[in-house]
Amino acid sequence: MSRREFITLLGGAASWPLAANAQTKPVIGFVSSRTAADSAHLVSAFRQGVDAAGSIEAKDAEIVFRWADGQFERLPALVKDLVDRRVAVLVVAGDLAALSAKAASTTIPIVFVIGSDPVRVGLVASINRPGGNVTGVNLLTADVDTKRLELLRALLPTGTLIAALGNPDSPNARVKLQDLETAARRVNQPLLILNVSMDADLDQAFTTLIERKAGVVLVTADPLFNTQRDRLVVLAARHAIPAIFDSREYVAGGGLMSYGANYSDTYRSAGIYAGRILGGAKPGELPVVQASKFELVVNLRTAKTLGFTLPPMVLALADEVIE
């Protein structure tokens, strides 16, 4: 081997580490209105989904998180930050984050986890063929709210006033609350809708429902209420009124009962979609996943404290009974 050939070979070898270092991991951006501490179980489920997708890209991906900590006005800026970074996939939790992401990019693949109908709010063209750069998971919260109303009617004496807390500022909130009112009218169920658009409204809402002698309060599914979960449980206990929520998290924290989609299951599905997209799948060709795993959770300790008797049928149907 000549000296020149040897030097050329050394030069090529020296460049290998540089080329390897130049390769960067794909980045998954993740935006949520929640806090990091409050979402550890959801992040774990999401990571499991990414790993389950099976592609080399998914296994090697870096996940960058942005948390709004309950400050919803921060969501557009958090989304823009990750869009400007040109992440490979953008995962957004909550209606406001999803709408901000769709407005921010028509090219970056977007995977949402939302409660509203994604067709109604304009995120996708259809459930089966989303089109464009957006797909995701639908928690079906509007349908679940009406089913929780039906559940309460089976637990309460006929004619009992049910109070429902709703956030009028959420996307599609008017439609969801109208659906709830329509379901109540259909069966002649007295229903009191109380609007809560900020945490400062909660105290007045509970004062009003007590003055109106509501027998129970239904807390509709909404990101605002998720960020005020502990406070809602405390207010229900302070006013000694039974409350039904949309997720197990409330009941684990002392709430009476919940019925809704299994959140960990839906975040795992979102992780699978993010991983599949990294592997080459097109978001517009991935049907929106409809939540299919729902759970009824009750807290017997809270029921005893409130003096509220849960029928044996409900206890038998419960997926989990916290004692």
Intra-chain end-to-end CA distance of the chain, in Å: 80
Which is more confidently placed, 53 or 5?
A: 53
pLDDT value, residue 248: 93
Each residue's pLDDT tens digit, 190-222:
999 999 998 889 999 999 999 999 999 999 988
Tell which residue, 271, 236, 292, 240, has the closest CA to residue 111: 271
Mean pLDDT across the chain, nearest whole number? Answer: 90
CATH at 134: 3.40.50.2300
Q: Do 149 and 222 fall within a single domain?
A: yes
**44: domain range?**
6-139+262-293
Percentage with pLDDT > 70 across the chain:
93
Indicate whether 133 belongs to any domain: yes
Q: Report residue 176's pLDDT band, with 50, 70 and 90 as the boundaries.
A: confident
Same domain, 233 and 150: yes
Q: Where do we find the tokens 């069966």?
A: 187
Does residue 1 lie within any of the structural domains? no
Query: Does 248 map to a domain?
Result: yes
pLDDT digits (tens, 9 = 90+) for 1-32: 444 443 344 344 444 343 434 458 899 999 99
**Whether the predicted model's global pTM rises above the 0.85 cut:** yes
Query: Residue 251 in contact with residue 257, Cβ under 8 Å?
Result: yes
Tokens of 261: 């989609």
Confirm whether 166 is domain-assigned: yes
Overall average pLDDT of the 238-246 stretch: 95
Q: Tell me if 26 sits within 8 A of 90, measured CB to CB.
A: no
What mean pLDDT comes out for the span 299-320?
92
Looking at residue 7, its pLDDT comes to 38
Half-sphere exposure of residue 67, counting CA atoms within 13 Å on the CB side?
11
Domain identity same for 119 and 247:
no
303 in any annotated domain? yes
C-alpha span between 86 and 77 (Å, rounded): 14
* Residues 150 and 289 reside in one and the same domain: no
Task: Give a yes or no: residue 36 inside a domain.
Answer: yes
What are the tens digits of pLDDT across the range 68-80? Answer: 998 999 999 999 9
- 232 part of a folded domain: yes
Range 133-153 average pLDDT:
90
Q: Is the model more confident about 67 or about 198?
A: 67
Q: Note the pLDDT tens digit of each residue in 178-189.
A: 889 999 999 999
Same domain? For 10 and 116 the reply is: yes
Task: Quote the percentage of the chain above a pLDDT of 90.
Answer: 73
Is residue 127 within 8 Å of residue 287, measured between CB atoms? yes
How many domains are contained in the chain?
2
Q: Which whole number is the average pLDDT over 95-101? A: 94
CB 277, CB 111: distance < 8 Å: yes
Lowest mean pLDDT among 28-32, 271-275, 305-309: 305-309
Within this chain, do residues 273 and 255 fall inside the same structural domain, yes or no? no
The whole-number average pLDDT for the span 50-55 is 92
Do residues 303 and 195 both lie within one domain?
yes
pLDDT confidence of 288, banded at 50, 70, 90? very high
- Give per-residue burial for 288-320: e unless 16+ CB within 10 Å, then b: bbebeebbbbbbeebbeebebebeeebeeebee
Is residue 173 located within the same domain as residue 230?
yes
Residues 169 and 299 both lie in one domain: yes
Q: Are 90 and 193 found together in one domain?
A: no
- pLDDT value for 9: 41
Lowest mean pLDDT segment, chosen from 7-16, 100-109, 137-146, 158-167 = 7-16
Q: Is 306 among the domain residues?
A: yes
Mean pLDDT in residue range 94-99: 93
More confident position, 78 or 168: 78
Q: Give the lowest-confidence range in 3-12, 69-78, 234-243, 279-288.
A: 3-12
23 with 132, same domain: the answer is: yes
Amino acid at 126: S
- 155 falls in which pLDDT band (50, 70, 90)? confident
Statement to judge: residues 86 and 191 lie in one domain:
no
